[in-house]
Amino acid sequence: MRSYSAKILTGQPLRLAITIAGISLCIVMMLFLLAAYHGVANGSVEYIRKNRSDLWVLSSNAWNILRGTSILFTEDTYDIENIPGVESVSSVLFLLTGIKKGDQQATVYLTGFDPEAESGGPPRIVEGRSVENDQEIVLDGAFASKFHLSVGEVIKVRDTELKIVGLSGGTNALVIQYAFVTLHRAHLIVGYPGIATCFLVNAEPGADLDAIADEIKFELNGVAVYDHETFLKNNIQELQTGFLPFIYTIAAIGVVVLTTILSLLLSVNILEKRKDFAVFKTLGSPRGFVSGMIISQSIMISLAGCLAGVILYFPLVNFIERVTPEISTKTSFLQIISVVAVVLIMSVVSSLISMQRLRRIYALEAFS
């Protein structure tokens, strides 16, 4: 009796439209949260992912570069270079630092790296070029567009003027954006030459990484050494502990709102048609018949909501990203499928909730 379910729904077009709109907004919200989270996750660890190094060396109190203070001495890189099997070592210094342009000021996650080395720089250049000397800076693209900065302009860090020579991508971590200068410039800014946050070590092909790691730990006191995969995982984990509870909470609220809206509509529809249901019962409808009808109504609405939500989502996200460039989202087919799956599951839950109404509709009501 799919036609019956559909007709009950379309019999109240306004109510149906409001419900579908509500559900689709919940879906947009869930999709957006997921996409924003993936955007942040991507922007936070893309630097590590792209700067693929065989080994990452940090002070032993830190296991990631997102949250943790690690201080190393660049002179130690000579010891590492001398370890058999090591091909290259480069130092990177991260500083949370303010930059100014006129009377505007903002904070960046400033990355000092050696432009001569093969790793440590921006994961991706979206405009202009990378840093070549101490008077240059590369800014994250979203950061630049938020503060209306473009390639060729000059900004100030402390009292030093730096020219923007390029914009980078994959460097937007929502709460902070990366910027890139030479290691030497970073040393000048912080006022302590010779320090680094981490070393990026690359080995010769076929070298025994474990042996090199052991040797590094033996030569340098108080450092931790991670292979690339472990280090990437550490950073993702750090990000998740910070963000996921927040994302889950909002998503859970979305799911509850969605289920409530849906159950409300279904229950109202059931109560409004209670005489019909009493007649079905009297006429000997099989056990699953009426329940099946409620479930199919629920799924029909949910699918319509999903469709509306997905259609609404892309233009909306485009708009949001244009208005607030620091929000960068990453939507995948898998995310959409997951949200649709959650919505369908919740639609079945909603029908089970509203079916409680049915129990109190008696066949006898057909006779009153």
Partner 1 sequence: MRITSHQKNYVQLEGVNKTFIDGDREFHAIKNVSLKASPGELLVLLGPSGSGKTTLLTLIAGLLSPTSGSLSLFGRSVEGYSNKELQLLRARRIGFIFQDFLLIDSLHVIENIAMVLRFSGMKRSDALTAAGKLLDQFNIGHLARKLPSKLSQGEKQRVAVARAIANNPELIIADEPTASLETSQGFDIIKLLHNYAVEEERCVIVATHDLRIADLADRVMRVVDGEIQEECSGPIAEINQLIVVGS
Chain residues in the site for partner 1 (CB under 8 A): 1, 3-4, 7-8, 11, 273, 275-276, 279-280, 282-287, 289, 363-364, 366-368
Report the candidate in 135, 138, 106 with the shortest Cα–Cα distance to residue 120: 138
Say how far apart CA 209 and CA 205 lie, in whole Å: 10
The helix/strand count (H/E) of the chain reads as 10, 12
Taking the complex as a whole, the smallest distance from the CB of residue 7 to partner 1 amounts, in Å, to 4
The residue (of 71 and 366) whose beta carbon lies closer to partner 1 is: 366
The residue (of 286 and 315) whose beta carbon lies closer to partner 1 is: 286
The residue (of 21 and 279) whose beta carbon lies closer to partner 1 is: 279
The residue (of 156 and 274) whose beta carbon lies closer to partner 1 is: 274
- Which contiguous run of DSSP H or E holds residue 8? helix 2-10
Alpha helix ranges (H) inside 110-208: 141-146, 183-190
Taking the complex as a whole, the smallest distance from the CB of residue 20 to partner 1 amounts, in Å, to 19
Report the candidate in 283, 302, 280, 298 with the shortest Cα–Cα distance to residue 358: 280
Report the candidate in 250, 348, 329 with the shortest Cα–Cα distance to residue 26: 250
Taking the complex as a whole, the smallest distance from the CB of residue 256 to partner 1 amounts, in Å, to 30
The residue (of 258 and 270) whose beta carbon lies closer to partner 1 is: 270
Say how far apart CA 111 and CA 35 lie, in whole Å: 26
Taking the complex as a whole, the smallest distance from the CB of residue 358 to partner 1 amounts, in Å, to 15
**What phi and psi values does residue 82 have, to the nearest 5 degrees?**
-80, -10
251 contacts 30 by C-beta, under 8 angstroms: yes
The residue (of 1 and 342) whose beta carbon lies closer to partner 1 is: 1
Taking the complex as a whole, the smallest distance from the CB of residue 47 to partner 1 amounts, in Å, to 60
Taking the complex as a whole, the smallest distance from the CB of residue 235 to partner 1 amounts, in Å, to 57
Report the candidate in 4, 22, 28, 68 with the shortest Cα–Cα distance to residue 261: 22
Taking the complex as a whole, the smallest distance from the CB of residue 278 to partner 1 amounts, in Å, to 8
β-partners of residue 160 are 157
Say how far apart CA 199 and CA 113 lie, in whole Å: 10
The residue (of 155 and 278) whose beta carbon lies closer to partner 1 is: 278
